[in-house]
Structure 1
Amino acid sequence: MDPVSSSAQGRRGYRRRARFAVAGPGMAPREREMTVGALYADWMRLLTTQGLRGRPIAASTAANYRKNWHRHIAPRWSSTPVDQVHWRDVGEWIAGLQAGSRGQSGNNTRRRVALMFIRLMRHSVYLELLPENPATDATGRAGYVPRAPVEKRRIYLSMPELQALAGQCAPWTDLIMLAGTTGLRWGEITALQARDFRSTPEGWLLDVLRSWTEGDTGAPSPNTKNGGTRTVPVPDKVAAMVLGVRPPEGLLFRSPGRSGVPGGRLHHSNFAARVLRPGAAGAGLDPAPTFHDLRHTAVSLILHSTKDVKLAQRIAGHSSAQLTLDTYAELFEQTLFTASRALNGLIE
């Protein structure tokens, strides 16, 4: 007998985990009359408890899946039996996907929904409910998926540019400086509390312990995007800037309150429209950086000042240094000849 390939082993392992998630131990998997709605519930249970590779998906990914399901997929497919899904019907549905009262959804939304639906229906194959994915044609392709958008060019601010932007974003100067020097994501920085800062003999550290995800209405999730926590260094001047003006208890950064009542969670769309974009215009930054560009800025400043990839990985919260190298390859291209110039200076 031919040895089993690693991909086949992976599929078998997936089936074992999926069957357990669907039926529970000692029970047979459900038959093909399962509806897409029931399939979705089982798929999400697997993703959020065991995951496909032994680790649950990030809370932000789960939140996006739920949003796409309730807003776009469930109205059309929830009650449809899985064996009545056909890729031509899926293609027509994606092409005419509507965004509520605002008309047709954009390419990015239709692409995200289409790819999620394909992954969802692949679950029926791994459960052996269907012989092949009904959301793809006989060749395994899905020509109805819109093309991937051209990736927006990242913006890396210099320290003077970061300070100019922060100055124009008052009274959120400290938030901008903290984001641009620590690389925290929006959900992480808006979930911070004063107790997350730690003073050490060498300087300030910041424990990144929790994060908001889209749709959160209660407390933030007790982990970050990658399901873990991390500790990052904070410049002393930035730590003093934050702790000198922010409340000692509760959320550090809150929306403006009314009539003496403290505000609640900051929302990204409001902050970008009312603070960040006007601040960028005031600082003469064109194109205007997004909040995520402040994360790129932090990694860039760390790499240029220390040349330490492992520290940049820690700042970014990446699972490996290789991911950091791949994500920020363009920064390393800018310093391609740094080593040769340094050696050249040693030659007499």
Structure 2
Amino acid sequence: MGTISAYETAAGKRYRVRYRKPDHSQTDKRGFKTKRSAELFLASTEVRKATGEYIDAQAAKVTISTFGAEWLRTQTHLKASSYNVVETAWRVHVQPVWGPRQLGEIRHTDVQAWVSELSAKKSPTVVLRAYGILAAMIDVAVRDRRLPSNPARGVNLPRKVGKQRHYLTHGQVQILADESRHNATLVLLLAYTGLRWGEAVGLRVNNLDLARRRVLVQSNAVRVGGHIVIGSPKGYEMRSVPFPAFLEALLTEQIAGKQRNQLVFGDGNIYLATPTHGDGWFAGARKRARLTDSSIPVGLTLHDLRHTAASLAISAGANVKAVQRMLGHASAAMTLDTYADLFDDDLDAVAVALDIAKTRSDALP
């Protein structure tokens, strides 16, 4: 229990409350005009300590810059590529604005004004990422009992509009592969297995089971800060992905003369760099392919080949669980949410089946 003592000031007698914080360090609060008010403060403080609701006002005086640096050091669970995105957003958008401010000085209206201003200049993706970092940091401060609540929560945020997905037909995939020249097999593999770019270029010869026509996805080669970083696949789970029979001969040719631990694509030793969107080999292949088939989208990306794989699999009759496992989604619900537009035919089939059932029912005596 704390103590209360009186002291004299120019304005008259005042009271000081001296007590221990939950970490057992001693502190005090001065300036109470009556002993009764000092006693009430001490009693309420002891109750908050006992119930775990005590907030250390001094701990809220740390700056966002200092607290943010500590928070970043704890993000060891993030992959290198994800950490790089978070660190960049912190350094570019969060720290310059909030760095000098103390945790206890942040107000809900200030955060809303910042989000609104940033939204006028940047895309929803950038805004949501920057806001998410600030809010996540303050969540930790609340759990540390530095603040009673998070003033960043509950602000109005911009809506993220999903990028348009492009789906190629079998014929269009072949045209694109032909125009990709020495990268033709890579393009076909992406379009018929749904592998991500980093998963495909990270494949080694011993990841191919040509007899069973399976690709074992064990790693992901991602460029971070100009360097290739090898990590686990997205979701941290390895998966076995089937490939169609026509790819067997092409993959056999691709790995001819290579050792089991060498890379499938490229020279076997150096990871292929992601082609630049505007003038890389994929952009050139897309441009040439459009001369043959102008319906091939101008904005087609490498990631659209993953979407194409989902589309071709579904149109071939694959169920959502099979597509989920092929793509490495966390759940079938995620696959459905992502590719709901590809299951429209299933909805039509439901309506047809119900109509047939109703007709049969009406015909019964």
**2:13 — aligned with what?**
none
Which protein is bigger by CA-based radius of gyration? 2
Q: For 1:239 and 1:34, locate their aligned partners in 2 and report how far apart those are by CA, in whole Å.
A: 60
1:274 aligns with 2:272: no
SS where residue 306 of structure 1 aligns? coil
- Residue from 304, 311, 318 that aligns with 1:300: 311
**2:86 — aligned with what?**
65
Q: For 1:31 and 1:239, locate their aligned partners in 2 and report how far apart those are by CA, in whole Å.
A: 63
Tell me which amino acid in the other structure corresponds to 1:223. S
Tell me which amino acid in the other structure corresponds to 1:122. D
SS where residue 242 of structure 2 aligns? strand
1:183 aligns with 2:194: yes
Q: CA deviation at 1:306?
A: 3.3
**1:119 — aligned with what?**
136
Larger strand proportion of the pair? 2
Tell me which amino acid in the other structure corresponds to 2:280. R
SS where residue 337 of structure 1 aligns? helix
**2:107 — aligned with what?**
86
The CA RMSD over aligned residues, in Å, is: 3.4
Q: For 1:227 and 1:243, locate their aligned partners in 2 and report how far apart those are by CA, in whole Å.
A: 28
Tell me which amino acid in the other structure corresponds to 1:126. R
Contact 1:310-1:321 within 8 A present in 2 as well: yes
Q: For 2:320 and 2:79, locate their aligned partners in 1 and report how far apart those are by CA, in whole Å.
A: 24
Q: Unpaired segments of 5 or more residues in structure 1?
A: 1-28, 50-56, 99-103
SS where residue 224 of structure 2 aligns? coil
Tell me which amino acid in the other structure corresponds to 2:241. V
Q: Unpaired segments of 5 or more residues in structure 2?
A: 1-55, 361-365
Contact 1:60-1:225 within 8 A present in 2 as well: no
Q: CA deviation at 1:216?
A: 6.0
TM-score by length of 1: 0.71
Q: For 2:66 and 2:265, locate their aligned partners in 1 and report how far apart those are by CA, in whole Å.
A: 40
Question: Whose RCO is larger (CA < 8 A, sep 6+)?
Answer: 1
1:156 aligns with 2:167: yes
Tell me which amino acid in the other structure corresponds to 2:297. D
**2:238 — aligned with what?**
229
Contact 2:263-2:269 within 8 A present in 1 as well: no
Q: For 2:324 and 2:170, locate their aligned partners in 1 and report how far apart those are by CA, in whole Å.
A: 20
- Residue from 99, 124, 128 that aligns with 2:145: 128
Q: CA deviation at 1:42?
A: 4.8
1:248 aligns with 2:258: yes
Q: Percent identity?
A: 27
Range with greater deviation from structure 2 (29-38 or 306-315): 29-38
